[in-house]
Amino acid sequence: MPVIIRLTVYSNRIKLSLGQKVVPEQWNQQMGIVIGNTSGMRCINADIEKAKVKLRQHYDQLAIQL
Return per-residue pLDDT of the chain as tens, 66 residues.
999 999 888 899 999 999 999 999 999 999 999 999 999 999 999 999 999 999 999 989 988 887
Q: For the chain, how big is the Rg over CA atoms in Å?
A: 14
What pLDDT is stored for residue 62 in this prediction?
Answer: 85
Coil, strand or helix at 49 = helix
What pLDDT is stored for residue 16 in this prediction?
Answer: 92
Domain that holds residue 8: 2-65
* Tally of domains within the chain: 1
Alpha-carbon gap, residue 62 to 57, rounded angstroms = 9
**Can you name the residues that pair with 33 across neighbouring β-strands?**
28
